[in-house]
Amino acid sequence: MFNKRVKIKELLATEATGQEVIVMGWVRTFRNNQFIALNDGSTNNNIQIVVELGLLDEATLKRITTSASLKIVGQLIASQGKGQKVEVKATAVEVLGDSDAEKYPLQPKKHSLEFLREIAHLRFRTNTFGAVFRLRHSLAYAVHKFYHEKGFVYMHTPIITASDAEGAGEMFRVTTLDLAKQLPTNDDGSINYKEDFFGRSTNLTVSGQLEGELAATAFSEIYTFGPTFRAENSNTARHLAEFWMIEPEMAFYDLEDNMNLAEEFIKYLIRFAMENNREDLEFLAQRLVEEEKQLPQDKRSELGLIEKLEFVLNNNFERITYTEAIDILLNSPAYKKKKFQYEVKWGVDMQSEHERYLVEKHFKKPVIVTNYPKDIKSFYMRQNDDGKTVAAMDILAPGIGEIVGGSQREERLDLLTKRMEELNIPVEEMWWFLDTRRYGTVPHAGFGLGFERMVLFVTGMTNIRDVIAFPRTPKSAEF
């Protein structure tokens, strides 16, 4: 019976009175044939196991190697050594699983994040990934807690769809047609999807928003939280081909209500992590300091990780229009000194260098940019009276860039249909989406928060591949 074991996190917070305890975990280090540092993933802190001389024979001692798994029975006593309050004086040690020390890839030394990506199946056993993935868990839990407490309904929107929610064409195809054989074709040579599994062309979803809108026009307020897929060939530290997104959708909301909810949501997640994962955050804050020591002074963060999070909690996000953002960029010293690689003028999609300038140099805090030109945004966004812009909002975060994308939705059937036609979006196939505008249409709004980008922000990690367990990126789908 294994269930009597106590997790190490709990053990470390227990008053030691010599009581018998059972603890299990993996060996981090073994010193002097006497001191085992054991870890079970409940915390980065190890419990020290003291093996008195003579307790184990030579053969068993040899099996206590890095990452071997052990069951220890012993007494919890106050520790003599420094660095820990309690330790376990072993009375029995059982090796549950051996680990060949010569071959084990994770030696007890510092490894680069790049190397750890190549052994992503083992990297959870390091302190950095222990902290990151416990935080990721906490944030996911907090997402549900936040919306549940507000009375939102959690919708599980489909992963396989026949539509392109963003209209950007960056979709992974889903098919059971045999690609090694001659594909069935129509008279005009195009592929005949009637022969395919669903009898039509299907893909992995890029967003749950459209189905979310259907639900919001019945439940008033819903959210989705699921995996989404983008076949965009962006090999950057901010893009994944498979990422998780939270998409709330609210009836009777305008753009301002939408911004208020998004800001409250982000702050709630940060506060939840600060209150529940302090130890892991402190570890990651220290990790960041160490990592940045290699950088020149002007490239280092002005604030430590925890100070940065506190700063975000204690200040309002800046709110500006796209037009104001472009003006700031055009008047910036960076623009005048030709420091931007990409063009700046009204109408262009801001590049990461522009977003980062606004957030990191100009405002030095999160910024919500609204009312973008309609030609660089999706078909479903509500058209403003100026005929040029839509009621969009993006939230830009320091060190990350875009973390949220959202908008008030076009609820007027005639304007929406006209826009879809202009953008060659198949109006007929989207009959179900347009029905929401036919039967009791309402002003409504929503947004999408990229979950990994949020985890990046809270953990201070810099590459998105290090905050999702098994990243999928162009030319990479190992594990």
- Specify the DSSP element, H or E, that contains 290: helix 278-292
Does 226 bind Mg ion (CB under 5 A)? Our answer is no
Choose the stretch contacting Mg ion; rule: CB under 5 A; options: 58-66, 166-174, 377-385, 404-412. 404-412
Residue with Cβ nearer Mg ion (226 or 405): 405
Does 390 bind ligand 4AD (CB under 6 A)? Our answer is no
- DSSP label at 350? P
Does 247 bind ligand 4AD (CB under 6 A)? Our answer is yes
Does 240 bind ligand 4AD (CB under 6 A)? Our answer is yes
Does 25 bind ligand 4AD (CB under 6 A)? Our answer is no
Q: Long-range contacts for 171-177 (Cβ within 8 Å, ≥24 apart)?
A: 171/203, 171/204, 171/206, 171/229, 171/230, 171/231, 172/203, 172/204, 172/229, 172/231, 172/241, 173/201, 173/202, 173/203, 174/198, 174/202, 174/203, 174/204, 175/202
Rounded to a whole number of angstroms, the CA Rg of the chain reads: 27
Residue with Cβ nearer ligand 4AD (49 or 309): 309
Does 446 bind Mg ion (CB under 5 A)? Our answer is no
Residue with Cβ nearer ligand 4AD (398 or 446): 446
Separation between Cα atoms, residue 194 and residue 470, nearest integer Å: 34
Does 360 bind ligand 4AD (CB under 6 A)? Our answer is no
- Tell me if 47 sits within 8 A of 11, measured CB to CB: yes
Residue with Cβ nearer Mg ion (21 or 206): 206
Tally of CB atoms within 10 A around 425: 19
Residue with Cβ nearer ligand 4AD (28 or 230): 230
Does 406 bind ligand 4AD (CB under 6 A)? Our answer is yes
Candidate residues 43, 46, 67, 209; the one interacting with ligand 4AD per rule CB under 6 A: 209
Separation between Cα atoms, residue 133 and residue 40, nearest integer Å: 14
Q: Which of residues 166-185 bind ligand 4AD (CB under 6 A)?
A: 166
Residue with Cβ nearer Mg ion (405 or 460): 405
Q: Which of residues 405-424 bind Mg ion (CB under 5 A)?
A: 405
- Tell me if 204 sits within 8 A of 160, measured CB to CB: yes
Helix (H, G, I), strand (E, B) or coil at 319: strand
Separation between Cα atoms, residue 24 and residue 6, nearest integer Å: 8
Q: What are phi and psi of 84, to 5 degrees?
A: -150, 150
Choose the stretch contacting ligand 4AD; rule: CB under 6 A; options: 58-66, 76-84, 423-431, 448-456. 448-456
Residue with Cβ nearer ligand 4AD (30 or 223): 223
Q: Which amino acid, one-letter code, is at 124? A: F
Binding site for Mg ion (CB under 5 A): 405
Binding site for ligand 4AD (CB under 6 A): 165-166, 207, 209, 230, 232, 239-240, 243, 245, 247, 402-406, 446-448, 450, 452-453
